[in-house]
Amino acid sequence: MGFLDRMSTVVQAKMNKIMDKIEDPRETLDLSYEKQLQLLQNVKRGVAEVTTSKKRLELQKAKLQMSLDKLDGQAKEALQAGREDLARRALESKAALQAQSATLDQQIADLNDQQQKLIAAESRLATKVESFRTKKETIKAQYSAADAQVKITESVTGISEEMADVGMAVQRAEEKTENMKARSAALDELLEAGTLTDYSGSDDLDRELAKAKASSSVNDMLAKMKEEMKK
Amino acid sequence: MIIRILGEGQFRLDDSLLDRVNKIDNQIVNHVSQGNKVEYAKDLANLISTVKELAEPLDPVEIMPSDIIIPPSDMSFEEARKVFCGEGLIKG
């Protein structure tokens, strides 16, 4: 059995769930329509969730960028004060943060992809639901009981497949945002708890740098005084 | 022939092009059974881009079932293996 046949089986199982417990054909149309409207609401919620998660990661990314800039500045100041060891420490921290930053970029790109796909799915589904609504009224009004049954089966099967597809897409998006939420919360915790602030905020580095700057200015002043006394 | 790419909607493909789709499908079966993750990802991407290139998107107004269903582009190797084991793409 091919891979695609198996995919059809997976989708068919989902469709059966969507279509089950419906016996009266005319009721089928209305029930299916109600479910479609519910699903549309779900997709909208899904889009909102993905959008929120993306914004959250973008904020985190901005915070990380600030830390990176700060470390860069510290490395420069350390070099100016003649403390290559401190500059090296700042740059080591910067490299560690850069790795985090690259991961965040990837996650933001992934979420963006999800967001675009869900927005497109929402629009396709909305069009189909509207088309189904018109069709269901036509079927009810124009077809004899026997013909109606065939038409109903056709359109309900078609729309159920769309619903199975969109339902799975929303579920996948939700799983992804859940995973990212967990990881992003972990990163937040690290930033808060100071594991990363030790790198980036680096009170320690700040203190040492201040000392180095002070001592280099003391050296400057001493040199100046010595010069003056020679005169 | 109507093809659905999960997450991306339906497409209309000329029946004569089915062989090309089937050929990639068979390759994917081999990759999954042999545990070849890299080739699996390559051929899944290849399958999706081939369909998009050869097929016309179906007008969303039309409501009809598909003849072929293609997995979403971000389906991982592990998920693909579950599909083969009959566990389905998503639980429940």
Q: What is the structure's pLDDT at B91?
A: 41
Residue (of B34, B33, B24, B27) closest to B68 by Cα position: B24
Bridge partners for A14 per DSSP: none
Mean of pLDDT values over A39-49 = 93
Closest-CA residue of B relative to A165 is B6
Q: What is the structure's pLDDT at B5?
A: 95
Contact between A70 and A106 (Cβ < 8 Å): no
Which residue from A7, A13, A158 is facing B71, i.e. has the nearest CB? A7
What does the mean pLDDT of chain A come to?
84
Lowest mean pLDDT of A59-68, A104-113, A178-187, name the range: A178-187
Indicate the Cα dihedral angle A49, B91, B25, A169, nearest 10°. -20
Check CB contact under 8 Å for A4 and B68.
yes
* Complex ipTM > 0.90: no
* Structure confidence by residue, pLDDT tens digits, B10-42: 999 999 988 899 999 999 989 988 999 999 999
Q: Shortest Cα distance from B63 to chain A (angstroms)?
A: 5
Q: Is A106 exposed, middle or buried (0-12, 13-18, 19+ CB in 10 A)?
A: exposed
Check CB contact under 8 Å for A121 and B9.
yes
Residues 6+ apart with CB under 8 A from B29: A2, A3
Residues 6+ apart with CB under 8 A from A59: none
The residue with greater pLDDT, A151 or A118, is: A118
Check CB contact under 8 Å for B72 and A169.
yes
pLDDT tier, A202 (very low <50, low <70, confident <90, very high otherwise): low
* Structure confidence by residue, pLDDT tens digits, B32-80: 889 999 999 999 999 999 999 999 999 999 999 999 999 998 899 998 8
Which residue from B63, B70, B88 is facing A4, i.e. has the nearest CB? B70
Q: Which chain B residues have a beta carbon less than 8 Å from that of A3?
A: 25, 28-29, 32, 71, 80, 83-84
The one-letter code for the residue type at A6 is R
